[in-house]
């Protein structure tokens, strides 16, 4: 609708996920996005546990 360039679509994770059934499933891309999400989730949990809150 707005006709943005393709590089702008790749700024979000949704731009890397294949659009089924039009495109073939690329398991490596989905696997890498899952690994990145797990690493960011673990970093968030560690950061949350190390916060400095004084009562």
On average, the pLDDT of the chain sits at: 88
Counting the structural domains of the chain, the total is 1
**What gap in Å lies between CA 7 and CA 36, rounded to an integer?**
20
Q: Is residue 27 part of a domain?
A: yes
pLDDT one-digit tens code per residue, 42-52: 999 999 988 87
Q: Is residue 6 part of a domain?
A: yes
Q: Apex CA 10: angle with CA 40 and CA 12, to 5°? A: 40
pTM: 0.71
14-34 residue pLDDT tens: 888 888 888 899 999 999 999
Would you say 17 and 31 are in contact if contact means Cβ atoms under 8 Å apart? no
In this prediction, residue 2 has a pLDDT band, given cuts at 50, 70 and 90, of: confident
Q: Is residue 55 domain-resident?
A: no
Q: Kindly state whether residue 22 falls inside one of the protein's structural domains.
A: yes
Which structural domain range is residue 4 located in?
1-31
What is the Cα–Cα distance from 44 to 10, expressed in whole angstroms? Answer: 24
């Amino acid at each position: 609708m707005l006709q943005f360039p393709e590089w702008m679509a790749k700024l979000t994770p949704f731009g890397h996920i294949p659009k089924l059934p039009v495109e073939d499933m690329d398991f490596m891309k989905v696997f890498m996005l899952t690994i990145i999400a797990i690493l960011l989730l673990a970093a968030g949990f560690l950061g949350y546990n190390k916060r400095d809150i004084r009562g």
